[in-house]
Amino acid sequence: MSTLLLADRPIRPVTRSGFEVRPFDAPLGAEVVGLDLAAPLSNDDFARLHRAHLDHHLLVFRDQDITPEQQIAFSRRFGPLQVHVLHQFQLKGHPEILVVSNIVENGQPIGLGDAGHYWHSDLSYKETPSLGSMLHAQELPAEGGDTLFANMHRAWDTLPAGLRKTVAGLKAEHSYLAKYEELRRRSPWRPKLSDAQIAEVKPVIHPVVRTHPETGRKALFVSEHFTTRVVGLPDDESRELLATLFAHSVVPEHVHRHRWEARDMVFWDNRSLMHLAAGCPEHLRRRMNRTTIEGDAPF
């Protein structure tokens, strides 16, 4: 494991032959300019992208005219891909891609229309949660549809000293089913899960504070969507502690809002960030293709 510690500080744009990395004036994120993801990527360029992803936690690639196969191939450069439990919303012929969409065709939703309704880190409810996710814009609404990202390294770094001491060493349960029935009652996007699907998403226990396996930085690793309880605490204390951590994680100083443009590809680090879908008017169509890269067991 690399022990390089990266501070959240302004990082100069990185310019070499090929493409440029332009950091946002925000708590996280950078735009990658001059790179076509449909073209072959050299090992040197891949290493630069990997470094930029670790530095900034989120990379935005504008105007990427790529196929599902190309998205899958690029995603696999970073690791094995995970298949989402909602197989109903896999892109036909490409189980690695989850369709995130509010579009209904022939009376049936074509994708997961309420994805990101609560702050979360993708697949934190798995024994090996996601390293990162890639979301490619296919169809965007005329208004709304933004995605918010929160820097969980900053959330840890700015936690009051007493609270840091309290949570260090604690563990928490994560469950995909935590808010599933609540979401089912609200919208048509959540199908009834089969017994086999429920067996795929058994609750897991992870540290409340995880260490990034590549940079060594610590980050809070709890979310309002999937974290159900702190292990070993009475229910009332657990709820109070989690509510405090949730609120602290998403203060404006930790958050960046991504405003989507046509054919954006956004790649974020689920070990470093949480995200939230801001939503859009129901009558406006939105469709994205998501790939999810498998990570390591948190420690």
pLDDT tens digits in sequence order for the chain, 299 residues long: 333 333 454 444 444 448 999 999 999 999 999 999 999 999 999 999 999 999 999 999 999 999 999 999 999 999 999 999 999 999 999 999 999 999 999 888 999 988 889 999 999 999 999 999 999 999 999 999 999 999 999 999 999 999 999 999 999 999 999 999 999 888 777 889 999 999 999 999 999 999 999 999 999 999 999 999 999 999 999 999 999 999 999 999 999 999 999 999 999 999 999 999 999 998 999 999 999 999 999 99
CB atoms within 10 A of CB 8: 17
> Can you give the pLDDT at residue 14?
43
The answer to whether the CB of 75 falls within 8 A of the CB of 41 is no
Please give the model's pTM, rounded to 2 decimal places.
0.92
What is the SS3 assignment for 101? strand
pLDDT value at residue 6:
36
108: helix, strand or coil: strand
Q: Which token pair is 190?
A: 């959540």
Catalytic residues: 120, 122, 275, 290
Whole-angstrom Cα distance, residue 111 to residue 89?
A: 5
H/E run at residue 51: helix 43-56
In the chain the domains, ranked by start, together with CATH numbers, are: 14-294 (3.60.130.10)
> With contact defined as beta carbons under 8 Å apart, do 77 and 293 qualify?
no
